[in-house]
Amino acid sequence: MKISDYNQMMRYMTSTGEFSRNKGVSKKDAMKKVLKEKKPVVREEDISERIARMHHIYDNGPRPKHMDNPNIKSTEDMKKIIKPIKKPVKTVTPVKIDVDGINTSLNTLEQLDNTAPIKPTERKKKSEGLAYLLGIDE
């Protein structure tokens, strides 16, 4: 990095004037701007407002003030706005298990079970040590 580039970078990072990112904007002004940009909260009418609206619609009563407020929605409108979230349907595929080797090994085990048990052949034990010397068979 060249010295001139380094100096320019340091001026940018430490400056409050020419290169400042927040030039002329204070923290209070920035917060006011963020607060102004807030969207109005849409809410459902409460029970007293609902009764007043029904009285106006069906009994020709006085028009309630909340009906002019665009941020207050009726219960029927809220049901249209808030749709139930449908979970995506996942297709479940069973795991493929290779059973060819299992079947062949099971078949060989079944064949062994059906045959007569194999008896070990008897061998004469070779005499060793003192019994061999004395000629005693065990």
> Is 73:41 a contact under the CB 8 Å cutoff?
no
CA angle (132 as vertex; 128, 134 as ends), nearest 5 = 145
What is the reported pLDDT for 64? 93
Q: For the residues 7-23, what does the mean pLDDT come to?
A: 67
- Tens digits of residue pLDDT in 71-124: 899 988 888 876 667 778 888 888 887 766 666 766 777 777 666 666 777 766
- Give the chain's length: 138
Please provide residue 38's backbone torsions phi and psi, each rounded to the nearest 5 degrees.
Answer: -60, 140
Residues sharing a CB contact under 8 Å with residue 62, sequence separation 6 or more, in sequence order:
56
CA proximity to 72, closest of 38, 45, 40: 45
Return the number of other C-beta atoms located less than 10 Å from residue 44's C-beta.
15
Mean pLDDT taken over the chain: 77
Q: How confident is the model at residue 20 (pLDDT cuts 50, 70, 90)?
A: low
Dist. CA 84–CA 78, nearest whole Å: 11
* Per-domain boundaries in the chain: 43-81
* Predicted model pTM: 0.36
Query: What percent of the chain shows pLDDT beyond 90?
Result: 17
Q: Return the higher-pLDDT residue of 42 and 30.
A: 42
Report d(CA 95, CA 101) in Å as an integer: 17
**3-class SS of residue 77:** helix
